[in-house]
Amino acid sequence: MRTLPDADPGVPDERSATRYLTWLLRTTWVPVTAAILLAVVWMVSQALVPAVVGRAIDAGLIDRDGRALLAWSLVLAGVGLVQAAAGIGRHRFAVVNYLSAAFRTIQLAVRQANRLGSALPRRVEAGEVVAIGTSDIGHVGSAVDITARGVGSLVGVVTVTVVLLRTSVPLGLVVLLGVPVLMAVVSVLIRPLHRRQAAYREQQGTLTARAGDLVGGLRVLRGVGGEAVLSARYRAESQTLRTAGVRTARVESLLEAAQVLLPGAFLVLVTWLGARFALSGRITVGQLVSFYAYAAFLVGPLRQLTETIDKVTRGHVSARRVVQMLQARTDLSDVDRPVPAPPPGDLADPTSGVRIRPGRVTALAAADPVDAVTIADRLGRYHPDGAATLAGVPLRDLDLATVRKRILVADNDARLFSGPLRADLDPHGRGGVAAALHTADATDIVEALPDGLDAEVAERGRSFSGGQQQRLRLARALVADPEVLILVEPTSAVDAHTEARIAERLGPARHGRTTVVCSTSPLVLARADTVLYVESGTVVAEGNHRTLLRTEPRYARTVLREDR
């Protein structure tokens, strides 16, 4: 059995949902083909059972031929063994196909999220990403999985139709004409279901994003008194989603009822006609039993055909969302012909007038913290309109991978990842974790863990306090040891004593490397080689902390108004 997921998901066909699903089938054509062939054998074996039973009844009851009865019984046993073996094999391959499609879809979504990077929130709503990773991958996997059973059911129906036509033309015609009628009725229900599922899926993604925003900004909302307003809005949108879900469920319930009622009615019709033909002598008793068994058998493949239509429809809706994400393009696109990477030099942002000297610790103190974040984004090439330069070379002319390798922006939106703490802090195995923990004053956090660096980090690091998470994220950034490290408010969640130790250790730890700290903390500013004071997005003063306190009243008001 294959090991999943595959290391490389491949290059998808993202032109449309249909092409994407077709690409998934082509990519896994070997197990898909095997599942289809086994499903055909499995279904045809079931379709032959009624014919064998009918021949055995005629041989035993009508002809009183014991040897023929034994022979047909052995044939029935053989058909049953083939059916069992094919069913087991089909199911195993079906599981592989389901998991392969689901894993491949989530791999592509994660790869696209990494490719979009900081542009992801501007291009795809958070709710859409969450929905793709939770529900859409299942629907896409089911659409690929159901292919084998759908083809097998279709072949099974054709086989039964041929057998019935050879035995009784009227009964064969009933099946031949009845199956398309059943499929047409189901198709009438599928179309509105398709529309309602798409609308429900869109509203679900929007509401998920709204919930994330509400929870993430709960503290701020309480501070400004907006919690009740946004909670009421969320309740209203939640009720709208519930109504859409009920509307979708109505059509789904009709479809489920049709899947039971229509094949059942078909069974009654074929049985009634077969009984009349048997009474009139047009067919034998064994053939009557076979016809009844065929009618009962047809309930299964007919339901599977309607299930195929349903699951393929659901998969198409989900694939459309996946394709929309895969089609998203970053506004921080890479250049076709990047210029050679320059040597270490000044990192400058002409828009604000910020110029960072290499090999020094530079503090960026802004009257409005948002300005500091914006400047940090431009210096790290996370802003689509940035004109920052490194050693005089525009960052937008450099290969994006080179920029990411040389310039690291670490802000408080970063998260700790689930898994061993050691792998979280040092994913590339560079070493230097102990020194980084010391600089970030986070050694005590690791020492308090029963397994130390081998301890498992809970989802989003929720087992750590806000200050502990901040220190661990700082340690992770220090382990990376980039040429330029830009830290945005790295000590905002720690106490003054911890902040003082971090500020004292940061400069020596980054000796010879360029470090930018966006902060208005006097403890941090006092340890910086140079302080740049920003107002209205522009540098208005430059110097060391003590000098600016004496000569720049606006700077003094900004950094001393905090209660520390």
Find the CATH number of the domain harbouring 546. 3.40.50.300
For residue 393, give the DSSP letter.
E
Upper half-sphere CA count for residue 60 (Cβ side, 13 Å): 12
Looking at the domain assignment, is residue 57 inside a domain?
A: yes
Are both 166 and 228 inside the same structural domain?
Answer: yes
Are both 353 and 308 inside the same structural domain?
Answer: no
The dihedrals phi and psi of 17, each to the nearest 5 degrees, come to -65, -40
Looking at the domain assignment, is residue 428 inside a domain?
A: no
DSSP 61-100: IIS--HHHHHHHHHHHHHHHHHHHHHHHHHHHHHHHHHHH
Please name the amino acid found at residue 85: A
Are both 365 and 322 inside the same structural domain?
Answer: no
Tell me the three state secondary structure of residue 202: helix
Rounded to an integer, what is the distance from CA 158 to the centroid of its chain? Answer: 39
Please name the amino acid found at residue 372: A
Which domain CATH number covers 53?
Answer: 1.20.1560.10
Are both 310 and 366 inside the same structural domain?
Answer: no
DSSP bridge pairs for 485: 408, 515
Structure confidence at residue 252 (pLDDT): 73
Give this prediction's pTM. Answer: 0.63
| In contact, 109 and 325? CB cutoff 8 Å | yes
Are both 247 and 393 inside the same structural domain?
Answer: no
Quote the number of domains for the chain. Answer: 2
Tell me the three state secondary structure of residue 58: helix
Class of residue 252 by CB neighbours under 10 A (exposed 0-12, middle 13-18, buried 19+)? middle
Please name the amino acid found at residue 67: R
Looking at the domain assignment, is residue 310 inside a domain?
A: yes
Which of 270, 295, 327 is where one domain is finished?
327
Tell me the three state secondary structure of residue 16: coil
What pairing do the DSSP bridges indicate for beta strands 530-535 and 361-366?
parallel
Are both 220 and 308 inside the same structural domain?
Answer: yes
Structure confidence at residue 562 (pLDDT): 47
Taking residue 45's Cβ as centre, other Cβ atoms within 10 Å add up to 21
Helix (H), strand (E) at residue 542: strand 538-543
Are both 378 and 273 inside the same structural domain?
Answer: no
Upper half-sphere CA count for residue 495 (Cβ side, 13 Å): 4
Are both 87 and 164 inside the same structural domain?
Answer: yes
**Per-residue pLDDT tens listing for the chain (564 residues):** 567 777 788 889 888 999 999 999 988 888 899 999 999 999 888 888 877 777 777 776 666 667 777 887 888 888 889 989 998 999 899 899 999 999 999 888 888 887 777 677 667 766 677 777 777 888 899 899 999 988 988 888 888 778 777 777 777 777 667 767 776 776 676 667 666 766 666 666 666 666 665 555 544 444 445 556 667 777 777 787 777 777 777 777 777 777 677 767 777 777 787 777 777 777 776 677 777 777 777 777 877 887 888 788 888 888 888 888 888 877 676 777 888 989 999 999 999 999 999 999 999 999 998 899 999 999 998 887 778 999 999 998 898 888 989 999 998 878 888 889 999 899 888 888 999 999 999 999 999 998 889 888 887 778 888 889 999 999 999 999 999 999 999 998 899 999 999 999 999 999 999 999 999 999 999 999 999 999 999 999 999 999 999 999 999 999 986 443
Looking at the domain assignment, is residue 168 inside a domain?
A: yes
Taking residue 90's Cβ as centre, other Cβ atoms within 10 Å add up to 23
Are both 511 and 550 inside the same structural domain?
Answer: yes
Looking at the domain assignment, is residue 229 inside a domain?
A: yes
Residue 342, C-beta contacts closer than 8 angstroms, at least 6 positions apart? 390, 391, 392, 393
| In contact, 377 and 386? CB cutoff 8 Å | yes
Looking at the domain assignment, is residue 7 inside a domain?
A: no
Edge-first strand listing for the sheet containing 354-356: 354-356, 347-349, 389-390, 393-394
Residue 273, C-beta contacts closer than 8 angstroms, at least 6 positions apart? 170, 171, 174
Q: Measure the CA–CA gap between 2 and 74, rounded to whole angstroms.
A: 36
Q: Measure the CA–CA gap between 284 and 266, rounded to whole angstroms.
A: 21
Tokens of 455: 């301890």
Please name the amino acid found at residue 197: Q
DSSP bridge pairs for 541: 533
Helix (H), strand (E) at residue 365: strand 361-366
Are both 135 and 210 inside the same structural domain?
Answer: yes
For 132-190, give the secondary structure using H, E and C. HHHHHHHHHHHHHHHHHHHHHHHHHHHHHHHHHHHHCHHHHHHHHHHHHHHHHHHHHHH
Rounded to an integer, what is the distance from CA 62 to the centroid of its chain? Answer: 62
Structure confidence at residue 46 (pLDDT): 84
Are both 358 and 319 inside the same structural domain?
Answer: no
Are both 365 and 321 inside the same structural domain?
Answer: no
DSSP bridge pairs for 409: 486
Q: Measure the CA–CA gap between 512 and 360, rounded to whole angstroms.
A: 7
DSSP 399-415: -HHHHHHHEEEE-TT--
Helix (H), strand (E) at residue 480: helix 466-480
Which of 299, 327, 355 is where one domain is finished?
327
> Range of 111's domain?
17-327
Residue 557, C-beta contacts closer than 8 angstroms, at least 6 positions apart? none
Tell me the three state secondary structure of residue 306: helix
Residue 244, C-beta contacts closer than 8 angstroms, at least 6 positions apart? 196, 199, 200, 203
Q: Measure the CA–CA gap between 172 and 376, rounded to whole angstroms.
A: 75
Looking at the domain assignment, is residue 454 inside a domain?
A: no
Looking at the domain assignment, is residue 433 inside a domain?
A: no
